């Protein structure tokens, strides 16, 4: 029997809640680095989310004014340390644009190969870490298992795994190896004897073929998982207009329905690298999206990265025969103390998290007058107050995690 307000068994309470300030971070695992989020909440609902940054500031831009261009390459590694190869490429292209340098065909295809391998590794981390944000551990382990193999390849190529300093002005510091030992992780997955020595590109193809088959597994664990959809669909909605007005780029922008990618739409010095490649730029809405998905929500941003991972596999495959058939060296001559003209130049490239820009002012010496890095994650982070307002406190990790930020790139 239903009760009415007149029933003597019903007692009315005048429930009042006070606003509370809650600090999330800077040591919270869901903030993807040393990020502090100051949340103003009313009960369980977030009314305001203010990001506080600067905990990882290392004066990278000021240091760049006291170094010649090749010496600053290692500092770009440490901005987005999950996509070091892509960061190296952006700054190298900026200097080449300034001095009017164009690398040979072989170096261009080598750069595409290494940049897209870096994109795969970065999106694997983004996928695994996002699953961890939402409370599932298995995808995190699978993602890092695959990423470790790519880092093994990087180690074979240049000797470093994370901060590579590999792509530089004129091309790359080393040519790709002819043959390598099959990484132990890949040998275990393929159930072949460890320590086998095979041609480099044969090992790469073995890995790509295996990874391609795992994508369906990732979708089953996350993308199409009912709990994952419940946590991400219709949450943290970023409209197309808001994304553009805040300068959002990369998967965050494409997840809001803007079809824009600098590999296709950027400046000629960058787009000519990809001119001979067949790839698609994916943006929301998606035909195969679950019915609860809304344009610009967390699920859409996540799915953009998943389809980009598959596209990157295809680009790496295309780059191998192009690199093998191309003439030239892995690096054109660029003197260590090359003087930069009295000019200024700015260039953006499509990194895994969005458009990373470098601005350089020359003064006629080898050391630039000014170096400046424009962070994609900084712009993407600026929307947190808008997309977190009105969501439950428990959904904040889902919203912030969907932006896939790296604090080293923001703070510099």
Let me know if residue 332 belongs to a domain. yes
pTM of the model: 0.90
Let me know if residue 26 belongs to a domain. no
Inter-residue contact 134 to 221 (CB < 8 Å) = no
Which pLDDT belongs to residue 174? 87
Cis before residue 351, ω within 30 degrees of 0? no
DSSP secondary structure letter of residue 66: G
Q: Residue written as tokens 């780029």?
A: 249
From the number of C-beta atoms within 10 Å of its C-beta (0-12, 13-18, 19+), residue 29 rates as exposed
Which of 310, 317, 260 shows the shortest CA–CA distance to 109? 317
Which pLDDT belongs to residue 80? 87
Pairing of strands 36-42, 171-172: unpaired
| Token pair of 374 as six digits | 């424009």
Beta bridge partners, 346, equal 359
Let me know if residue 178 belongs to a domain. yes
Which of 270, 335, 361, 337 shows the shortest CA–CA distance to 86? 270
Let me know if residue 288 belongs to a domain. yes
- Using CA atoms, how far apart are residues 75 and 67, in angstroms rounded to an integer? 11
Which pLDDT belongs to residue 353? 92
User: In what helix (H) or strand (E) does residue 156 lie, and over which residues does it extend?
Assistant: helix 138-158
Region class of 39: left (phi > 0), else alpha (psi between -120 and 50), else beta:
beta
Let me know if residue 246 belongs to a domain. yes
Per-residue pLDDT for the chain (412 aa), expressed as one digit of tens each? Answer: 444 546 555 555 555 667 888 888 777 666 677 888 898 988 888 888 899 988 888 898 899 899 998 899 999 988 888 999 999 999 999 999 999 988 999 999 999 999 999 999 999 999 999 998 888 889 999 999 999 999 999 999 988 888 888 998 888 888 899 888 888 888 888 888 887 788 999 999 999 999 999 998 999 999 999 999 999 999 889 999 999 999 999 999 999 999 999 999 989 999 999 998 999 999 988 888 888 889 989 999 999 999 999 999 999 999 999 999 988 888 877 888 888 899 999 999 999 999 999 999 999 898 999 999 999 889 999 999 899 888 888 889 899 999 988 888 888 8
Let me know if residue 31 belongs to a domain. no
Rg (CA), the chain: 23
Q: Which domain holds residue 396?
A: 56-411
Let me know if residue 20 belongs to a domain. no
DSSP secondary structure letter of residue 181: E
Let me know if residue 37 belongs to a domain. no
- Using CA atoms, how far apart are residues 192 and 180, in angstroms rounded to an integer? 15
- For 324, residues 6+ apart whose C-beta sits below 8 A from its C-beta are 201
- For 128, residues 6+ apart whose C-beta sits below 8 A from its C-beta are 139, 140, 141, 142, 143, 144, 147
Number of domains composing the chain: 1
Q: How many other β-carbons are positioned within 10 Å of the β-carbon of residue 296?
A: 24
- Using CA atoms, how far apart are residues 394 and 375, in angstroms rounded to an integer? 28
CATH number of the domain that residue 375 is part of: 1.10.645.10
Which of 19, 150, 37, 34 shows the shortest CA–CA distance to 400? 37
User: In what helix (H) or strand (E) does residue 104 lie, and over which residues does it extend?
Assistant: none
Pairing of strands 354-361, 344-351: antiparallel
- Using CA atoms, how far apart are residues 87 and 378, in angstroms rounded to an integer? 15
- Using CA atoms, how far apart are residues 362 and 364, in angstroms rounded to an integer? 6
User: In what helix (H) or strand (E) does residue 21 lie, and over which residues does it extend?
Assistant: strand 19-24
What secondary structure does DSSP assign to 329-394, as a single string?
A: -SB----TTPPPPS-EEEEEEEETTEEEEEEEE--SSSS-SEEEEE-HHHHHHTTHHHHHTTSBGG
Inter-residue contact 176 to 331 (CB < 8 Å) = no
From the number of C-beta atoms within 10 Å of its C-beta (0-12, 13-18, 19+), residue 297 rates as buried
CA distances from 340 to 44, 127, 167, 209, 289 (A): 55, 40, 19, 44, 49
| Token pair of 292 as six digits | 């609860």
């Amino acid at each position: 029997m239903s009760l009415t307000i007149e029933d003597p068994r019903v007692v009315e309470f005048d429930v009042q809640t006070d606003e509370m300030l809650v600090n999330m971070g800077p040591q919270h695992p869901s903030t993807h680095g040393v990020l502090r989020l100051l949340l103003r909440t009313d009960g369980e609902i977030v009314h305001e989310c203010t990001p506080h940054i600067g905990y990882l500031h290392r004066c990278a831009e000021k240091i760049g004014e006291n170094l010649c261009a090749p010496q600053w390459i290692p500092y770009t590694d440490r901005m987005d340390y999950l996509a070091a190869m892509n960061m190296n490429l952006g700054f190298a292209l900026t200097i080449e644009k300034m001095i009017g340098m164009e690398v040979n065909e072989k170096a261009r295809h080598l750069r595409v190969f290494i940049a897209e391998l870096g994109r795969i590794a970065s999106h694997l981390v983004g996928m695994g870490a996002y699953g961890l944000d939402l409370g599932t551990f298995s995808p995190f382990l699978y993602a890092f298992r695959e990423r470790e193999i790519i880092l093994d390849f990087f180690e074979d190529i240049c000797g470093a795994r994370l901060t590579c300093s590999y792509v530089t002005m004129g091309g790359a510091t080393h040519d790709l190896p002819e043959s390598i030992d099959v990484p132990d992780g890949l040998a275990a997955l393929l159930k072949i004897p460890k320590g086998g020595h095979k041609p480099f590109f044969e090992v790469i193809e073995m890995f790509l073929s295996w990874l391609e088959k795992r994508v369906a597994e990732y979708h089953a664990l996350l993308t199409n998982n009912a709990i994952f959809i419940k946590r991400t669909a219709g949450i943290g909605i970023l409209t197309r207009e808001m994304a553009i007005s805040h300068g959002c780029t990369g998967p965050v922008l494409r997840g809001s329905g803007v079809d824009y990618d600098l590999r296709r739409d950027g400046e000629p010095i960058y787009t000519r690298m990809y001119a001979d490649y067949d790839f698609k730029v994916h943006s929301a809405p998606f035909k195969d999206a679950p019915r609860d998905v809304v344009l610009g929500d967390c699920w859409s941003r996540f799915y953009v990265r998943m389809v980009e991972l598959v596209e990157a596999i295809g680009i790496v495959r295309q780059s191998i025969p192009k690199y093998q058939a191309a003439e030239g060296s892995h690096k054109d001559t660029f003197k260590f103390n090359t003087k930069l003209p009295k000019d200024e130049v700015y260039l953006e490239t499509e990194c895994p998290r969005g458009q990373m820009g470098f601005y350089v002012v020359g003064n006629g010496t080898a050391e630039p007058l000014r170096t400046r890095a424009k962070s994609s994650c900084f712009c993407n982070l600026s929307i947190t107050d808008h997309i977190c307002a009105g969501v439950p406190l428990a959904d904040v990790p889902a919203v912030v995690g969907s932006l896939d930020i790296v604090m080293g790139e923001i703070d510099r």
